Chain A
């Protein structure tokens, strides 16, 4: 029963972090449109957070290049488990029209594991919401409350531990 409650709470409360890896802003505008009264994703308990440490879902738009792949990697590491990643738009999926450029790594999945792919150029808000719902299905499968969250001794932030506290 406890597990069912936790799984339900996780599915009902996905906090979303949106990272623009160098998109043309088309997908970003569509992503932010999901927050407006028109689509109002807060109905489903989704909140757009600006902080990886509070996020459950990572939305990535745009082409990954050699500069921002480190940032993407860091954001992913800073998110506490369980987490899911959604790649949005043609660029996020494969690098899009920029895939042959010398500075481009390619899709988001070259750097971090991706759970859901949302195609489109730009992806429509409906498609993005669909993608998040699909990601919640993945989250439901991932949910093993005792192993990932409530139990265990926890960990210190990988980067912070190296520098120590001030």
Chain B
């Protein structure tokens, strides 16, 4: 099945999300679609799946124009979407999730789950997906959940598969397996659209590449002749440096030390299991690992957001195991949280208010009992300039800024004061390339000023590029430690450790 987009345009109010986009998707081919967050990839794909209707232009399937009016229309026409955030019901089984909406039934609306299971097995067999049909989704690792999503669209006999950032949640090894599945699908004659912002992946798997920037197709080409820097330039609109310039670390005294820290979740399962680590002043320590292996809990333990069950945490020689969040903060701990909307900022508060969330109580911002607002606004404006937060006004709600500027706002708030230890969790998630570069520079600058910097990230490139030392977390434990002075750690070895396969091997 061939799908062609001709001159598609979609506007949201004054914003042009897609501007005269032309794209051709062919059967038996992988089309890599590259673009930053907010470049218009999702809008385009939502028009293909029927969620949005284009303002101008048309979609042709095998040469015939089609009109999609609802979310079910795309899949009915054979275009299936695998969303970045899985659309799976965690408390239901694989088979139930797969058949939802097109259930095989018997009398009285009876749900024929046996037949559903058989159908799942058939597809499993055909595309070698190896998905257990009776397992609950919540019990399955993310990599398998993703295959359930693929199975779901195949079950609805899709011929075009749109995969939205499919590798974001996978370990390097899972990415390999995933590419194998993409290959099988391609050989079976499916057309595949692979949406990503990871350059090396798109070069590896695609037959053709299209690059989207600010709603327009800014480049097209053959992966055999293109290089990563070509693609980056098309994507960002200017040459981009991939490596953050930094000198060697000059590690000093121990800033942060964890001794056998264990944390339990509400079911009393260990989410952190005897974690010990150190961060010295003047070095960047990276924590690598696939999401959900205890990194979130590690940061919560260090910053005091959750109570640890046993173990000891020292910060610059002081025991802070049970210290309150504000005490840690006052001692010079900065925290850039992993999810800025959940715990980094208040979307509806102004930029200025967001800038003082961590120290609004300080004497410099108060007039007796009241907050000295003119002072706050003046300081916020100063930090906006200093930290490159691009906003027309400090009175604008924080939620109205772009992802990159929101994150820089959080970074500004955390780093503007005198700090000793910076805990940065997923510091560049959902942030544009320009802001990523800037945030990385600031973190290195903090290191060079003598702070200890701990970076937790599921982007292995980020960890490899910034860290002087790397810990790998798996299943709530530190399973490996690598020296990365001058970038000498073996990327492959780190990747293997992330998948937990070094357990027992290393002594």
A and B bind: no
Q: Which residues of A contact B (CB under 8 A)?
A: none
